[in-house]
Amino acid sequence: MKKRFGFALSLMLATGMLLSACGGQGGDNAGGKDTFSVAMVTDVGGIDDKSFNQSAWEGLQKFGKDNGMKKGRGGYDYLQSSSDADYATNLNKLVRSDFDVIYGIGYLMGDAVKEVAEQNPKKHFAIVDTVVDEPNVASITFKEHEGSFLVGVVAGLTTKTNKIGFIGGMEIPLIEKFESGFRAGVKAVNPNAKVEVQYAGAFDQADKGKAIASSMYASGIDVIYHAAGGTGNGVFSEAKDLKKKDPNREIWVIGVDKDQAPEGVVKVDGKTYNVTLTSMVKRVDVAVYDVAKRSKEGDFPGGKTLEYGLPENGVGIAPTQDNIKPEVLKAVDEWKQKIIKGEVKVPMTRKEYKQFEASLK
């Protein structure tokens, strides 16, 4: 008797689940759609990681505001991923919610976007920071090497010890772009400066960042450029602590992805110092806005790889420039024009950097 009852119950539950799953999909297709809507799926940082997820969201928000869209379905929205298992799930959810353009933010989402794009050939997708070769995916990449070149110019002209450091997160081609561009910028303005490069192996290990920075500053380096996300927090921490111990010592950190001037504030005996020399900003918001705008006007760049560099204001030095001397700013501007005009080709990989270095001699 009990067994039969239990069996009947589980059969009912199973049928119920099956039916509700079918019903759900039908319901989503029923809603009419005549407004242009965009949505994004974030990486594990979330929309307020003070870095490029936040930047992308700001771009979408601006697009929404400029076009009178509301947040939510039919307007602009985002879904946050808490782990890489969520990527495909979130993308599929947005597909079913009928958004016109769906962004995947971050190179780690490349595979998920490719898979979902293949399954939904009629939908439009965009991916930031990597290339997905599908006719319905617009790949947004940035010329980080060009932006890094400019901050390299700043570093090369500001250093007093001629020793500069670069701390990378993981040793991947993306971060090599930062490294190569930076080293080229330093070499171009200051051939005597040496750049020491070290990778922490992770984007979320602030203690590794602090230890590497400690080692670098102890060896005489006075400017460190970090392309290491959360690991960079350790670099700022070390720089601020050293500054507090000896306010007269000139040490600098160059931030990345967004204006990291707030991270460099340190108070010593009532005086406020800032160890952030400048930052290499990546205008993900500009890129996201641009693709949304083009799609709305009917020109979705599917299958194309868009590269946002200096001319499009996709990368550049941070707006907070209190710590940069006027003549250095002038030099940055000159080099910026040279790169835009094509007179200088900024290396993207270590191999290209070696060729660049040879060409300077």
The answer to whether residues 228 and 203 touch, using CB atoms and an 8 Å cutoff, is: yes
> Cα 261 to the chain's mean position, in Å?
17
Specify the 3-state DSSP secondary structure of 77: strand
Q: How far is the CB of 241 from another protein (least distance, A)?
A: 5
For position 230 contacting another protein by CB under 8 A, the verdict is: yes
Among 131, 174, 211, 306, binds another protein (CB under 8 A): 211
Among 129, 134, 179, 263, binds another protein (CB under 8 A): 263
Between CA 259 and CA 319 the distance in angstroms is 7
For position 204 contacting another protein by CB under 8 A, the verdict is: yes
For position 226 contacting another protein by CB under 8 A, the verdict is: no
Judged by CB under 8 A, the chain residues 38 through 57 that form the site for another protein are 44-50, 54
Q: What residues form DSSP beta bridges with 71? A: 76
Q: How many chain residues interact with another protein (CB under 8 A)?
A: 42
For position 147 contacting another protein by CB under 8 A, the verdict is: no
For position 262 contacting another protein by CB under 8 A, the verdict is: yes
The answer to whether residues 249 and 243 touch, using CB atoms and an 8 Å cutoff, is: yes
DSSP per residue over 179-244, as a string? HHHHHHHHHHH-TT-EEEEEE-S-SS-HHHHHHHHHHHHHTT--EEEEE-GGGHHHHHHHHHHHHH
Q: How far is the CB of 250 from another protein (least distance, A)?
A: 17
Q: How many CB atoms lie within 10 A of CB 341?
A: 9
Q: How far is the CB of 194 from another protein (least distance, A)?
A: 12
The answer to whether residues 285 and 258 touch, using CB atoms and an 8 Å cutoff, is: no
Among 198, 276, 278, 295, binds another protein (CB under 8 A): 198
Which residues contact another protein (rule: CB under 8 A)? 44-50, 54, 171, 196, 198-199, 201, 203-208, 210-212, 214-215, 218-219, 229-230, 233-234, 236-237, 240-242, 244-245, 262-263, 265-267
